[in-house]
Structure 1
Amino acid sequence: MKIRPEQAGDQAAIRDVLIAAFADHPHSRNNEHTLVDALREEHALSLGLVAEEGGEVIGYIAFSPVTVAGEKCGWYGLAPLAVRPDRQRRDVGRSLVKAGLAALRETGAAGCVLLGDPDYYGRFGFARRAGLTLPGVPPAFFLALAFEDSQPAGEVAYHPAFDSCK
């Protein structure tokens, strides 16, 4: 398996992976593919990585900037993470998360937030962080990982594309 940045010509395969991965997910509105399309169109997709095996895209992860208390502060949101159903539970997602976080750190990012399973994302260092909130979601599932000693405080806002895809 190879992890690489998404490139021109990957969009259809990424879309297929997103649709398949979230088809039966209990907390999905099955719009992750439209979210990624919107982030691309609005030039708000900071990082998109694909997992490729045998020339086929089998997984995808996206990162986009977030604001904290209305300010840009070098933090990013991880969403979505998707692995084709026939390749799940084979470390594809883990590899994508690790590669994505490493790439963010290399660019000088200050941290990353996500909405997800604390048990899964806790293995990467994500945890509930006092002072960071995301309105309308259960606080136990809003997680953050600071890459620096300091951490901003306040309400986190994702790119408006997330609202338009609700």
Structure 2
Amino acid sequence: MLIRDETPRDIPAISRLVTEALLLLPQSTGTEASIVEKLRADGALLLSLVAEDEGEVVGYLAASAARIGTQGGWGLIGPLVVSPSRHRQDIGSALMEEALRRLRATGRGAALVGDPAYYGRFGFRAFPGLGVAGCPPDVVQALPFDGGEPRGELIHHRAFGLDQQE
């Protein structure tokens, strides 16, 4: 398996994979692929990584610029998806490890909204005072690279359709 930057020829496969993988989640809106398309169109993707196996895109991770409160320099991870037929093969872990390696070289930290049991293994955790309106506090997580304690609203790019936007 190869983890690499997306190429233009990957875009249709990424859209299909994001839709297919996220429709399995009860919180899916079905709009996640269009969020990635908007991030790409706005030049807002810090990272757009694919996991390729035998020429097939089997995993995808996007990271976009975000703020926590007034503090910029954060990479917002999401979506992270793996083909349902390839779950539990460490594809998501490989994508996350590569993303964190790259983000550490350029940013203040990484943040996301997701399952604490899954993302905790990479060092993500909830912090008092870190949040996203309408989200349970335990799913809003950060991994500050300097060991600090981020406080404030996690501000996403406007492609996510939230009230406060990067």
Instruction: Give the equivalent residue in structure 1 for 2:110.
Output: 112
RMSD: 1.3
- Greater RCO (CA < 8 Å, at least 6 residues apart): 1
Q: Is 1:92 matched with 2:91?
A: yes
Deviations 1:38-91 (A, max 9, x none): 00011111111000000110000000011222x352111111011111111111
Amino acid across the alignment from 2:104: R
Partner SS, residue 74 of structure 1: strand
State the alpha-carbon separation in 2 of the partners of residues 34 and 96 from structure 1.
Answer: 21
State the alpha-carbon separation in 2 of the partners of residues 134 and 151 from structure 1.
Answer: 16
Instruction: Give the equivalent residue in structure 2 for 1:16.
Output: 16
Taking structure 1 as the reference length, what is the TM-score of the superposition? 0.93
Q: Is 1:83 matched with 2:82?
A: yes
**Residue segments in structure 2 that go unaligned for 5+ positions in a row:** none
May I ask how many residue pairs the two structures share in their alignment?
162
Instruction: Give the equivalent residue in structure 2 for 1:58.
Output: 58
Amino acid across the alignment from 1:130: P
State the alpha-carbon separation in 1 of the partners of residues 25 and 19 from structure 2.
Answer: 10
**Residue segments in structure 1 that go unaligned for 5+ positions in a row:** none
Amino acid across the alignment from 2:36: V
Amino acid across the alignment from 1:125: G
Verify the 8 A CA contact 2:142 2:150 in the aligned structure 1.
no
Partner SS, residue 123 of structure 1: helix
State the alpha-carbon separation in 2 of the partners of residues 55 and 133 from structure 1.
Answer: 39
Partner SS, residue 24 of structure 1: coil
| More displaced stretch, 55-64 vs 71-80 | 71-80
State the alpha-carbon separation in 2 of the partners of residues 132 and 27 from structure 1.
Answer: 21
Work out the percentage of aligned pairs sharing the same amino acid: 42
Partner SS, residue 3 of structure 2: strand
